[in-house]
Structures are given as structure tokens and as C-alpha cells.
Amino acid sequence: MKKPLLILVAGGSASGKSTVVEEILNKAGIDEVLIIKHDDYYHDQSELPLEVRYLTNYDHPSSLDNELLLNHLQKLMKGETIDKPVYDFVNHTRSTEIEHISPKPIIIVEGILILENEKIRDLSDINLFVELDDDTRFIRRMLRDMKERGRSLESIISQYEKTVKPMFHKHIKPTKRFADVIIPNDRKHDIAVDLIVTKIKQIIGDRI
């Protein structure tokens, strides 16, 4: 197998990263894609009491095990399989579940801080940043966390005010400078998507 094409997709929490990725893949007509969530590489906290885990700042770079992700990406780029962790956001630690994953021609890694790590960026072929205004992202995050992660409205608001919003402006938003394309998700972005699709096809064609 030729070296996989690696795409990193960053953006604030609930900015619509997954939706934009789906749009790109549909337009490109590509099926053989491996999508990895950076969220699954949050550090294991099983040795900590639950009340301590609740205090985790998930929007700070130190919360992520980037060394493990880097190791896994390097293996995938060489055609090797990996055992990927799965994060349990209800219990605030890694699940006992592990996903056995094989490489595919295109690998996409999504995460709010995926462009923050230089070593991971160095492996990448295309870097994207999905942008959406703060208010819309907060509403989307609130609805998601209540539905999918069993969170109370009070805890969501508290976390947003204490860590999510300040960490976005301190650590996430500045990584826009590493993006090849910034995709505005509050209006039509057909041109940006078309440019990305064209670039993906070009790189894949060069590696055949």
C-alpha cells in the first residue's frame, strides 16, 4: 500500500468538524477512509476518583496523550495496524474497549487541538480549520453534551465559562495559522470544499 494521505481537521468544540469532513468525502466520492477522533487519546484517568476526573480541563494540550497518537499515526503510515483507545466521556476516563484498526489510503484525524502539536503536524499532508462563532458552538455543545454525555445544563455552563471558552482563545484559535484552508461553517463554503477535494485527488493521483 502507498503511503496514506493524512488530513488533520481542527476547530473549536462543536464547530462542525465531522459535518465538514463528511461533506468533503461525499463530494470527492471517497470510501476508503479511516477517521480518528483525537478525543479518544485523552489520558487514562481510571486511577483517579470520579470527583477529581470531573475537574479535567479537556481543552488544554496537556490533557491529550499526543505521544501515543503520534506513535499510532507513524505505524499507520507504515501500513501497520494499531490498537486505538476509546474514551468514555460519561466516566471521564478511557473505556476498557479497544479498537483494532488497519490503515486506509486516507486517514483523517479530527480534534480541537490536533494542529497544536508540531510533530503530528509534520506528518500531515493537509491541515484544515473549521470556524464557527462562539454562540452557535456553545448551543451545539450544550445540546450534544446533554444528549450524548449525560451532562447537566449547570455543569455544561460552568465548564464552558471556566475552561472551554478561555482555552479556545488561548490554545485552539491560534492554531489557525497552521491551517492550509480555514473553512467558515456559518455560511456556504463550497469553494473551500472544492479546493480541498481537488487537492486530495491530486495527492492521491501522485501516489498511485
CATH of 5-207, one of 3.40.50.300, 3.30.70.3400, 3.40.190.80, 2.120.10.70: 3.40.50.300
Task: Give dist(CA 33, CA 14) in Å, integer.
Answer: 22
Inform me whether the pLDDT recorded for 165 exceeds 70. yes
Mean pLDDT of 16-33: 91
Instruction: Supply the pLDDT for residue 1.
Output: 65
Neighbours of 128 (CB within 10 A): 25
Cβ 115 vs Cβ 10: under 8 Å: yes
Task: Give dist(CA 110, CA 136) in Å, integer.
Answer: 19
Report residue 206 as a C-alpha cell: 501522485
Residues 42-65: tens digit of each pLDDT? 999 999 999 899 888 999 999 999
Report residue 139 as a C-alpha cell: 448551543
Q: Going by DSSP bridges, is the β-strand pair 106-110/33-37 parallel, antiparallel, or unpaired?
A: parallel
Inform me whether the pLDDT recorded for 208 exceeds 80. no
Residues 118-153: tens digit of each pLDDT? 999 999 999 999 999 999 999 999 998 898 878 889
Cβ 202 vs Cβ 191: under 8 Å: no
Axis crossing angle, helix 190-207 with helix 17-28, rounded to the nearest 10: 60
How is the chain split into domains, by residue range? 5-207
Cβ 1 vs Cβ 103: under 8 Å: yes
- List the strands of the sheet with 181-184, edge to edge: 33-37, 106-110, 5-11, 126-131, 181-184
> Which of 88, 3, 82, 83 has the alpha carbon at shortest distance from 45?
88
Instruction: Supply the pLDDT for residue 113.
Output: 98
Per the document, the length of the chain is 208
Instruction: Supply the pLDDT for residue 72.
Output: 98
